[in-house]
Amino acid sequence: MKNVEMKTGGSYKPPFDIQVRAFDFACRIVKLYQYLDKHGGAAHILGKQVLRSGTSIGANLEEATAGQSKPDFISKCNIALKEARETLYWLRLLTACDIVPPERVTELTSESNELVAILTTIVKKSRVTERKR
């Protein structure tokens, strides 16, 4: 499942499957961390934060897939959603503090926003179907 750099027409096009997208996103976050780690100081510290939250999205989706129940699935997806929002925060902070040029994280920020939207929909729809049971 290695889709890290799916490029079409010179621009990044994310895969459709949420787990694949989260995995690809995590790989790109790791690369960002490697860049930040070389710069030390605040870049290194904030890099650890974005690394934790950005890689946790996919890990929680993997756990959700193996959930023991519908409420467990919803809980894990909700955690993934929170991690996606946190990642978005760290990406904004990195650019606001001039640690990373905005163009370096534009695609990551966009993908993080899309993951938030997708996960919000998954959680909301799952809760509705759970209540109907």
Domain assignment present for 4: no
Domain assignment present for 46: yes
Residue 27 has pLDDT above 60, yes or no: yes
Confidence of residue 9 (pLDDT cuts 50, 70, 90): very low
What distances in angstroms separate CA 64 from CA 28, 69, 76, one per listed residue? Answer: 22, 9, 5
Domain total for the chain? 1
pTM of the model: 0.84
Domain assignment present for 50: yes
Domain assignment present for 6: no
Average pLDDT over residues 93-117: 97
Domain assignment present for 3: no
Average pLDDT over residues 11-19: 64
Residue 46 has pLDDT above 90, yes or no: yes
Q: What is the CATH number of the domain that holds 127?
A: 1.20.1440.60
Domain assignment present for 2: no
